[in-house]
Structure 1
Amino acid sequence: MLTFEEKLSIIESFPELERKDVSLGRVNFHYTNSSYDQKNVVYHLHPNGNGFVYAGKMTGYQTNDKGMVNIRDFTEKALRSTIRKSILSLTPKETEAENEPEEEVWINDNTVTLTLLKEEDMWNVYADDILDGTFTTYKEATHYLDEEGFSRI
């Protein structure tokens, strides 16, 4: 089993992760460029060697209800691999962004139309000239419109 210091050294070798010290000597590592609400890649790395890595968007891992896999008995190779996969699972996919339109019109059963418009790094939903909602991703915006009973024209 790797020691706390060995695990810390491995985790700190990933420059895209940002260290956050938490209570009881535990350490979290955030991936601030995550395209999801999930930012924790390493969660509660404890001085006793216990800790978790986010694997909620990956297959082949037994995770808890928060999508975390316990790394207590991981080898160096397993830890590096799991962290790399976790970061990749949270990284925006270029193909998703390439397929996103700049503007769409959505309609509901009552023939009410809304316009989904990409403005800078945000997605805005308009009812005529009135802003109805702002979202950080295209996926979030389309999910909202679907839930509200709208479909693409």
Structure 2
Amino acid sequence: MLSFEEKKALFVEYKELTPVPVSMNRINYHFESSAVDKTVIVRFLHQNGNALIYAGYLPKEETKNGYISVLDANENEIKRLLDKAIDFLKKTTDGYEEGYSELWFDHNGDVLRLVYDNPMWSVNLPDGKMEAIFKTKEAAEGYLLDEAFFKN
């Protein structure tokens, strides 16, 4: 089992996390770049070495209020959980990270880029100019398919 200081050192390695002291000498770590309202990735790092890491990507029955205890976790397990939490919170409620993009092609060799610009989807020309914008990915994909484009 890792100590309080060892876990604290692990969390400090993640430059995108901000430590926030809370009651009873515990520390929370916030992910301010979260694409959703949830920003607390590590809750209640306690002097006894326990902490809770955000796991909202798991089914509710596998977590306690969306968090997993790492009291007995080793360094690799903690890093894996932190990486998954950060990756998950980078995505919007739509499930896509800001700036996500896909290339679409037609049989003439033309290329268009479908880009997620929260909360909209844009279809962009190779020079970056916007050709069209849509409220949903499905609508944008429908447009591309109607124009005889396909995703490679």
Task: Report the TM-score, using the length of structure 1 for normalisation.
Answer: 0.61
TM-aligned CA deviation for residue 51 of structure 1: 1.1
Counterpart Cα distance in 2 of 1:89 and 1:12: 19
- The root-mean-square deviation of aligned C-alpha atoms, in Å, is 2.4
Q: Which runs of 5+ in 1 are unaligned?
A: 103-117, 119-137, 140-153
Q: Which runs of 5+ in 2 are unaligned?
A: 92-96, 102-113, 123-132, 137-152
On the 8 A contact 1:50/1:72 being kept in 2, the answer is: yes
Counterpart Cα distance in 2 of 1:101 and 1:75: 41
The amino acid that maps onto 1:69 is I
Partner of 2:145 in structure 1?
Answer: none
On the 8 A contact 1:20/1:30 being kept in 2, the answer is: yes
Partner of 2:100 in structure 1?
Answer: 95
Secondary structure of 1:43's partner? strand
CA deviation vs aligned residue, 1:105-131 (integer Å, no higher than 9, x gap)? xxxxxxxxxxxxx9xxxxxxxxxxxxx
Counterpart Cα distance in 2 of 1:49 and 1:55: 19
Task: Report the TM-score, using the length of structure 2 for normalisation.
Answer: 0.61
Partner of 2:146 in structure 1?
Answer: none
Pairs within 5 Å for 1:130-149:
none
TM-aligned CA deviation for residue 50 of structure 1: 1.0
The amino acid that maps onto 1:98 is V
Secondary structure of 2:5's partner? helix
Counterpart Cα distance in 1 of 2:56 and 2:46: 21
- Seq. identity, %: 30
Partner of 2:149 in structure 1?
Answer: none
TM-aligned CA deviation for residue 95 of structure 1: 2.5
Partner of 2:106 in structure 1?
Answer: none
The amino acid that maps onto 1:53 is I
The amino acid that maps onto 2:19 is R
Partner of 2:25 in structure 1?
Answer: 25
Partner of 1:79 in structure 2?
Answer: 78
Partner of 1:51 in structure 2?
Answer: 51
On the 8 A contact 1:26/1:46 being kept in 2, the answer is: yes
On the 8 A contact 1:58/1:89 being kept in 2, the answer is: no
